[in-house]
């Protein structure tokens, strides 16, 4: 594909001047004794004859120094960083919401599928506890032959598993179901993230304690102030549940459950109990607050509420372009976004630029992992007119991400949880992008 | 598999006492007005009636408070973290080497396949430059129809791609080829890491500038003080080269080439030119310092040197247990490590616990990605006697990771670069693990 509008033409003369201003060398070669000022300084500094501090000189852009004013390259400091930092020019950050009880992932700035641990969304019901991993224990009891408690070190002794998985708060984008007040994709959809989680399979732990006949449910309880607890069918625990102690190759972050949390692939965030301290095996659900007064889905069409609606259904959202951005001008843009399903791998993602009248197939970034964010991309030539951008995910069960209209018809004004309606971004002629409610 | 030796037995009475000491509730339920002290404090704090600062109380371990001394759970502070930090108890770090010109990844602490960006290895020839992304430009010129320069924002306008890939310094573990002086796996093998890299395919950029007939090589040059430069065959550039601007979902870290670097999947680290400023198309190699006086491989068997030996061949290393660790006692351990090949996907990894006399097949963590680290795992019951642990990787070309003896026979005392011999860790009866040179 040709993109003539991108970039700036340059001449060999300009390039040669810039190179000369940089040093007496060409094509990156440094013949003995022919290094120019910049390179000689760099050489001395590299050998430690100048202090590292003095060495930090922001690099000049190519062309700026065609007049020979200064180096196009820049000697650096000898890094002594044992735990790196991002560049000082970078300012992407999470956004606190719900009175600071959650922080939203900046999806608009994301690329690929991995969410940096520092930007993974968080939601807590009574703050983030400070837990000494040497003191923490996980207890497994109830309908078992042998009640046991395990330290973090104990868990690391067991066979381990790692999976790249999304975790999404069941309340993610619920406000989007009723209004377009949330300007950005971070505000509207920032309660979902993807990490590589590592830990021990719960099936391995349950084999140790010996589950009694008739066991059907497991109470999972956190050691945070809220002692958040949920009931989990034992079948899910035996299928693919993980007690995770690591996230993206290092210890789980405090706000994500340090030193250990439950991971239930594809299920709503709150049941992936963080700061996990106790698993009690029983024969019926424990009917905790979080599954009775909270986290049930009221269907205003029938007046009834869904309970134990754990699975996050197929969903997608365009992250570029998205709300509060401004396109610099007409021409080529790559529409990009994320799709995920808690039920089955993503089968396809379709993109519309005319508010859902017509759809085209997006390309999916390989590998397409089950129960993980999938990055989709769709080439778009913006003609400068008004456009409404939408994405629609379908998973391998054949389930198609619904419209808001469909959900309203079937569930009413919209439950507080599990909203997965299609998101619409409107592009105006001036290039501004805004959140609009789909009809 | 049964692991009776791991963890500690506990009684329902102890658990009940611990729960009672925590609050007046059971099974995580909080009936109105029945919250105990800890929970009431937590509740008040959650509602902001107490200061967050006062809320940080390290949680007590289960059992400690069976006497009712204090809460087993801990109220937390309301997180306001917009760019998270790891837990204060975590101390894993990179290790500076070669006089601070490189930093080694702590492979012994790693799990899964993703290396946190903060712990990705780094190697620089004249320090880490501080580059203002708004000022930086990439120039493409030489045998092209239309020389162009691109800003970071320009590059982000093009169709993008993301791949999870390893980058390994060609000098990684070269000292291991001659001695066992490097105690840990970090010291011996820490110059390899895996990230999800995102950027624009070089084939896309070369299509913009129009490559002239006869073009065969591309000079890639960095804007660091060393202006590190290498010659790359244009076929590799058109095949799978990427100009990357992101790493693990955020901007590339300064020490890894901020704001843009070349990524040549599977090729030695130094040719993945960081702080990339210039690509010059030519008809022959540019014979830069880094491919003439440096980064060639002397075969002391023949006295000849290999040049342009770009591909990192199949290699593996056991990361747990590894040098300088001590096993607490005999019993079950999961041997775990990493395998990778720059040529083809990893076909299998074999593990030996008797110094290579016998081998067993390790399990590979899915998905097995080409040109990325692959996590392998192997169950081991340590009988308490001496053992020598080794791993051996085979890629889909059929290439088998060689022994040191084989390499010495064929290449001599060992070239400085591209050493991929089998690593041996010796376990003594006291559980201590040390680096030993394979016969």
Q: How far is B224 from chain A (nearest CA, A)?
A: 5
Question: Do both B48 and B123 map to the same domain?
Answer: no
Range of the domain at B197: 95-306
Domain-located, residue B418:
yes
pLDDT at residue A222 greater than cutoff 60: yes
More confident residue, B225 or A343: A343
Q: A162 at the B interface (CB within 8 A)?
A: yes
Residues A114 and A260 in one domain: yes
Residues of A whose CB is below 8 A from B30: 227, 289
Q: Distance between CA A291 and CA A288 in Å, rounded?
A: 6
Question: What pLDDT band is residue A78 in, cutting at 50, 70 and 90?
Answer: low
Burial (Cβ within 10 Å: 0-12, 13-18, ≥19) of residue A47: exposed
CB contact under 8 A, B12 and A130: no
Q: Is residue B185 part of a domain?
A: yes
Whether B72 has its CB under 8 Å from any CB of chain A: the answer is: yes
pLDDT digits 0-9 by tens, A353-397: 999 999 999 999 999 999 999 999 999 999 999 999 999 999 999
Query: Are A5 and A332 a contacting pair, CB within 8 Å?
Result: yes
pTM: 0.89
Q: CA of A201, closest CA in chain B: separation in Å?
A: 12
Using CB atoms, pick whichever of A90, A147, A332 lies closest to residue B157. Answer: A332
CB of B378 less than 8 A from some CB of A: no
Q: Is A205 contained in some domain?
A: yes
**Same domain (yes/no): A282, A359:** no
Q: Are B28 and A227 within 8 A, CB to CB?
A: yes
**pLDDT tens string A279-335:** 999 999 998 888 887 788 888 788 888 888 899 999 999 999 999 999 999 999 999
Q: Based on the fold, state whether residues A301 and A324 are members of the same structural domain.
A: no
ipTM of this predicted structure = 0.89
Q: Which of B22, B126, B132 has the CB atom closest to A89's CB atom?
A: B132
With respect to residue A82, please indicate whether it lies within any of the assigned structural domains. Answer: no
HSE-up of A236 (CA within 13 Å, CB side)? 21
- A358, A274: one domain: no
pLDDT digits (tens, 9 = 90+) for A167-194: 999 999 987 777 888 999 999 999 999 9
In a domain, A87, yes or no: no
Long-range contacts of B23-26, Cβ-Cβ distance < 8 Å, separation of 24 or more: B23/A227, B23/B71, B25/A227
Positive/negative CA dihedral, A279, A284, A285, A288 = negative
Q: What is the mean pLDDT of residues A234-257?
A: 97
CB of A213 less than 8 A from some CB of B: no
Ranges A78-82, A219-223, B63-67, B277-281: which has the least confidence:
B63-67
Q: B299: distance to nearest CA of chain A, Å?
A: 25
Check whether residue A333 and residue A250 sit in a common domain.
Answer: no
The residue from A306, A326, A343 where one domain ends is A306
Domain annotation covers residue A137 = yes
* Same domain flag for A301 and A265: yes
> Which residues in chain B (316-355) have CB-CB distances under 8 A to chain A?
332-334, 336
Contact B170, B264 (CB under 8 A): no
**Quick one: A126 and A178 in the same domain?**
yes
My answer on whether B120 and B244 are in the same domain is yes
- Give me the residue from B112, B207, B286 closest to A2, CB to CB: B207
Q: Are residues A237 and A374 in the same domain?
A: no
Distance from CA of B31 to the nearest CA of A (A): 9
d(CA B253, CA B244): 11
CATH number at residue A277: 3.90.420.10
| Residue where a domain terminates, one of B306, B334, B368 | B306
* Mean pLDDT of the region B148-153: 95
Lowest mean pLDDT among A418-432, B29-43, B148-162, B263-277: B29-43
Most confident of A7-11, A62-66, A321-325: A321-325
Residue-wise pLDDT for B202-227, tens only, equals 999 999 999 999 999 999 999 988 88
Q: How many Å apart are CA A119 and CA A106, to the nearest integer?
A: 7
Residues 6+ apart with CB under 8 A from A329: A5, A384, A431
Confidence of residue A80 (pLDDT cuts 50, 70, 90): low
- Cβ-Cβ pairs closer than 8 A, A with B, add up to 493
Q: Within a domain: residue A376?
A: yes
- At A363, which CATH number? 2.60.40.650
Phi, psi (degrees; rounded to nearest 5) at A313: -75, 170
> Do A336 and A383 sit in the same domain of this protein?
yes
B88 belongs to a structural domain:
no
Q: What is the pLDDT of residues B235-273, one digit of tens each?
A: 999 999 999 999 999 999 999 999 999 999 999 999 999
Query: In angstroms, rounded to a whole number, what is the distance separating the alpha carbons of residues A292 and A138?
Result: 25
Whether residue A114 sits in one domain with residue A70: no
Domain final residue, candidates B274, B306, B338: B306
Residue A11: its chain B contacts at CB < 8 A? 147
Residue among B76, B196, B207 whose CB faces A113 most closely: B196
Instruction: Give the rounded percent of residues in chain A with a pLDDT score beyond 70.
Output: 85
Q: Provide the number of structural domains found in chain A.
A: 3
């Amino acid at each position: 594909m040709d993109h003539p509008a991108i970039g700036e033409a340059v001449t060999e003369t300009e390039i040669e001047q810039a190179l000369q201003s940089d040093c007496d060398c060409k094509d990156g070669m440094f013949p003995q004794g022919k290094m120019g000022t910049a390179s000689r300084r760099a050489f001395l500094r590299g050998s430690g004859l100048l202090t590292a501090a003095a060495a930090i000189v922001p690099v000049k852009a190519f062309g700026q120094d065609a007049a020979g004013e200064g180096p196009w390259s820049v000697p650096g400091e000898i890094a002594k960083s044992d735990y790196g930092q991002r560049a000082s020019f970078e300012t992407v950050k999470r956004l606190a919401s719900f009175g600071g009880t959650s922080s939203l992932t900046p999806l608009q700035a994301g690329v690929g599928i991995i969410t940096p641990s520092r930007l993974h969304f968080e939601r807590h019901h009574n703050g983030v506890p400070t837990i000494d991993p040497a003191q923490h224990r996980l207890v497994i009891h109830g309908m078992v032959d042998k009640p046991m408690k395990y330290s973090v070190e104990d868990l690391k002794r067991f066979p381990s598993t790692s999976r790249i998985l999304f975790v999404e708060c069941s309340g993610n984008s619920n406000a989007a179901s009723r209004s377009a007040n949330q300007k950005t994709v971070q505000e509207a959809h920032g309660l979902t993230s993807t990490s590589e989680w590592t830990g021990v399979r719960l099936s391995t732990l349950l084999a140790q304690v010996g589950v009694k006949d008739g066991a059907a449910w497991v109470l999972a309880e956190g050691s945070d102030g809220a002692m958040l607890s949920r009931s989990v069918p034992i079948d899910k625990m035996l299928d693919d549940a993980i007690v995770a102690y690591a996230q993206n190759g290092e210890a789980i972050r405090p706000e994500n459950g340090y030193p250990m949390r439950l991971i239930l692939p594809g299920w709503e965030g709150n049941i992936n109990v963080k700061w996990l301290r106790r698993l009690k095996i029983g024969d019926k659900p424990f009917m905790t607050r979080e599954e009775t007064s909270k986290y049930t889905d009221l269907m205003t069409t029938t007046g009834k509420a869904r309970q134990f609606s754990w699975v996050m259904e197929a969903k997608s959202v365009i992250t570029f372009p998205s709300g509060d951005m401004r396109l610099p001008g007409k021409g080529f843009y790559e529409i990009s976004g994320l799709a995920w399903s808690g039920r089955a791998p993503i089968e396809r993602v379709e993109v519309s630029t005319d508010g859902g009248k017509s759809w085209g197939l997006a390309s999916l970034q390989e590998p397409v992992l089950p129960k993980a964010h999938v990055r989709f991309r769709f080439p778009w030539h913006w003609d400068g007119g008004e456009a409404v951008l939408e994405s629609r995910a379908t998973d391998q069960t054949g389930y198609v991400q619904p419209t808001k209209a469909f959900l309203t018809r079937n569930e009413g004004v919209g439950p507080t949880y599990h909203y997965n309606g299609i998101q619409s971004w409107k592009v105006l002629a001036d290039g501004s992008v805004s959140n609009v409610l789909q009809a």
